[in-house]
A and B are shown apart, each in its own frame.
Chain A
């Protein structure tokens, strides 16, 4: 009976899928329809934490700097900035006549107020760590120093001065993040923490908030007071919340969306054949990796074993055959494409498959294991189809090359997270990291001793020392060399197995122009335009 049901269901679904393929119908009007994979938890830019919320917030607000469609950093609310010789003081000059969406003047003090609210412990902002390099930010977040001591000042209406504790060459990249956007003091004072709602939210970006039905739709309208409104083409933007990727694809097919947030992994090949150039794939600032628990046997004090496990994995096979959706094999911790950085590669990356496997067996033996004494290891991953396929493939590779007996354990994401953080029962675990800004620091810093995201509990004095030296450097060239050296140390210690680099996948309607691919996967609506069909 059950199998009969399954077969009928599959048959009907297959029939309809094949039948359902067709060109998307054009969407009328100058309103951009975008898919969003989950609801923004809030449009309060200090409290928001999800990628989805940030996407909407980049349309609503604007920081001192921003990115172009192809990911070049450019001045935004600031027209220019100067950096002091020691790299510790940034002086931003705001554009003349900046306005909020209600027509009020936007001044430097509003940027100061925004950053103060971000680090204020009462705000309990998730992204308070974004500006941790600003003077006193750390102490304010922990409640030891009053908020007014933050190293951000507005000497006049058009000047914002930031004082840093160490040279932070990626600072201007951080200032594109919504958590650093200014706040309209009037709206906040009148409405308190509920200021970020339709009818209340006053924003300073290319769009303003028009309506929001939680769980379904966020509607934005063009902000006529925006300084660059003349360059904005699209009048309104609808963000449709579509949790299921397959449902999002159907809505694109039905012509209800111009841009999707992703492409369902299991229909990727079909979508590629069906839509050709409408499918946009670009490397994404991310790394998918397996981590070792370095606090417990068998992986503590056994780098040879860790290297053997890393070497025995055929990353090309994983990326091309097991995944096959544009992913790139990863041989470094920092993904390629990062600004001013050339990631070193794992030492064995240059070897061919046979040499690599031979060397892996050698290291495995050195580590004290062999056919008679195979390693028994548990691999934990969070329940998800892709993770499972990867884990099964790696299990087979380890068995074939080294004879390892790996047990796969899938756990709900939150359970895995709790286990990784406790580092008690984990041995090998799946995780990933997505860069917050376009700099190697966003990847390298998390593996420093004491970093809360250091899941393997990697602790190397040499690495931390190189990171500290890099942090003190003003000269970008020398800083880059220190960072690359740090990664070389990291890669030779094998606390993690970098497996592949993610890609962003979008379907973009032929009606849309101005779309640019970039490693951060940021797509501001103000850069796009629509060819209307009526």
Chain B
């Protein structure tokens, strides 16, 4: 498995390089520039700005310099946050995003698998209908509707939780963003778990287990849940991607100083280095997480062998 992992990491390098090259071309191809503004500056000032940020070099040279910096772990200076480097901005924002993403993912797994299992065990009962109805709603309503709705309910009306991240210190300020972000994933995972568990519970080996006199709880815990988790595990990759993209909206609505909102702001401001830096970061993260999921697959499913 170690060899497999190493090969996968090596294989990721050309992928990442391609992503960087494409992103580099795309950000520079977009019209405008980091210093374009309707308060147009005099040509002298613009020339000074371009010199200060090496924007007057030809593009291939800029690209080589960028990749060179990358190899040394330097993501360059931000064009908008003029006295900060991109590494510093991402580094500062990462803890908040990680906390948000990890909490949302954990909540989604715990509640999603729990609700899905309950629904599968009480198939076609009122509880099942309720859970499935809720999950349909959860999948259907977009994040930008859920977020203000939750804020109005819990921050404005009930005043239990802050409406914005900077509104109050402590853990409370993460509750609404995490719930917002996790909601569609809870719903999706619940449906996946239910379908998969119902399928597994009808298999021969479960009947055998029951025939041995085991109780439902043991059958589910020991025999059914593990194989039933395979579709959920496959879904983790897309789920992480969805949480990453969802965090862009959630961070902006709640004012969380995370990576996602820098991505949006950076793109709109043509902050070339900041956008590229975050693309590199996201791409590496997704490659790494996909690898983790694939390795986990082998741990859970004995039929999978790595070569």
Contact = CB atoms under 8 A, between A and B. Distances in A.
Contacts of B41: 126, 129, 452
B71 interface: no
Interface residues of A, number: 70
A16 B36 contact: no
B140 interface: yes
Given A126-B35, A216-B256, A415-B31, A16 B45 contact: no
A138 B45 CA distance: 10
B246 to A, nearest CB: 15
Contact of B45 (A126, A250, A436): A126
B122 interface: no
A179 to B, nearest CB: 12
Interface residues of B, number: 62
A17 interface: yes
Contacts of B255: 215-216, 240-243, 247
Contacts of A5: 140-141
A183 B81 CA distance: 20
Interface string B262-280: 1001001010000000000
A118 to B, nearest CB: 11
B167 A256 contact: yes
Contact of A250 (B92, B142, B151): B151
A49 B262 contact: no
B157 interface: yes
Contacts, number: 193
Contact of A16 (B39, B152, B168, B270): B152
A124 B149 contact: no
A214 B84 contact: yes
B36 A414 contact: yes
A378 to B, nearest CB: 17
Interface of A: 4-5, 8-9, 12-13, 16-17, 19-20, 22, 25, 38-39, 41-42, 44, 47, 49, 121-126, 128-129, 132, 138, 141-143, 193-194, 196-197, 213-217, 238, 240-244, 246-247, 250-251, 253-256, 412-415, 417-419, 421, 431-434, 436, 452-453
Complex A-B, nearest 6 residue pairs according to Cβ-Cβ distance, in ascending order:
A414-B32, A20-B152, A215-B257, A216-B257, A254-B163, A256-B167
Interface of B: 30-33, 35-45, 47-49, 51-52, 80-84, 89, 92-93, 137, 140-142, 145, 148-149, 151-153, 155-157, 159, 162-168, 251-258, 261-262, 265, 268, 270
29 contacts: A9-B141, A12-B141, A16-B152, A19-B157, A39-B81, A47-B82, A47-B83, A121-B48, A123-B48, A124-B49, A126-B35, A126-B49, A128-B48, A194-B83, A213-B257, A214-B89, A215-B256, A215-B261, A215-B262, A244-B253, A247-B254, A247-B255, A250-B148, A253-B152, A254-B155, A254-B156, A254-B162, A255-B159, A256-B168
